[in-house]
Each structure stands twice: as C-alpha cells, then as structure tokens.
Amino acid sequence: MRVAMTYLRLPEAEGGGDPGAVARSVFRQRGWWERYPSLAIAGTWQGLHYLITGDPWDGPHPAADVVCGGRLLTENGAEELGVDVIYLAPQRVKPAADHLAATDFRQIAGRYDPAKMAKLGVQGADDWIDKPPEAVRDRDLRTAYERLAGFFKAAADEGQAIYKAMG
C-alpha cells in the first residue's frame, strides 16, 4: 500500500497551543485539507526525503525536518483520525524553511538513482526505474520540492506550525 502525505499550516495558538488537541480537532473534520493552507505531495514524500537528506528515513537536521522530522502525535490514535499526524513546531519550521531556501533542487538532484532508492525501500522508486529521469526527477520531484519550499517559507514567515498527515 502506498502512503501519501499532505502538509497543513496552522498558527501555533490554534487549539490552545496543544498540538495533540489541534490534530484531534482539525483532522476529524471532513475536508480539512480544504479548510486550511495545505499542500499534498502524494507519494513523492519519501523520494523527496531521500533527495533532501540522502537517507530514506533519517538524515541531518534541519533537512530531515522537511519530510520525516517532527513529533508523531498519533502513536495510538491514527485509527481515530484516519491518518498519522506529525507535528513540526514553528521553531523547527524556520530552520527547515531556511535550508530549503538555501538549497536549490539541482544541488540534491544528483542523488536521484531509482535503482538504489528502490533497494533502500524508498516508496515509489521501483516504479521510477524504467522512466526517464526528466519524467520523475525533473518534473514530479522538482515540482513538489519547489512547492514545499514555498509552503515552508510561508509557514516560517507567519510563525506557523506544520502538521504532516500520512495515510
């Protein structure tokens, strides 16, 4: 099963400052992705994480915060909300936004190796092996990266937290 990721920006004061309360309030709503500033990156999330950090799951901070970093809020509640939710506090959003702004996609594009990524278990990479790099790396991943950089910049500029919904 493929997992998709959607990002959501919210002011820190929402839910009285309790990220868990915010997650329960927001992600229980139908159409939450339409009610708040959001960005869907679908199944490219792990490929982006790999390009940004060089690792399928971990990596150095603040780069790792862009996709996989943050606090998992739904250890025992993903069934209740229908998605896993990862919270990234505003004080971690800003360094991640700065990292994205300082890192042009061309700087990380050289890591794109779908065979190696598939071997490491990066979601979607097995589908990319037979496709030309311009079809995936230069179109899908670059577009998602650039949109993500803009999304993080807007959140940082407004002092917002980012919630990542995976499901």
Q: Distance between CA 135 and CA 76 in Å, rounded? A: 38
Number of separate domains in the chain: 1
Q: Distance between CA 78 and CA 87 in Å, rounded? A: 14
Give the confidence band of 1 by pLDDT, cuts at 50, 70, 90. low
Q: What is the pTM of this model?
A: 0.93
Calculate the average pLDDT of the chain. Answer: 92
Q: Distance between CA 74 and CA 129 in Å, rounded? A: 33
pLDDT digit string (tens) for 76-93? Answer: 656 778 889 999 999 999
* Residue 72: domain span: 5-166
pLDDT digit string (tens) for 50-86? Answer: 999 999 999 999 999 999 999 999 876 567 788 899 9
Is the backbone peptide bond immediately before 62 cis, with ω within 30 degrees of 0?
yes
Q: What CATH number does residue 156 fall under? A: 3.40.1760.10
Give the confidence band of 98 by pLDDT, cuts at 50, 70, 90. very high
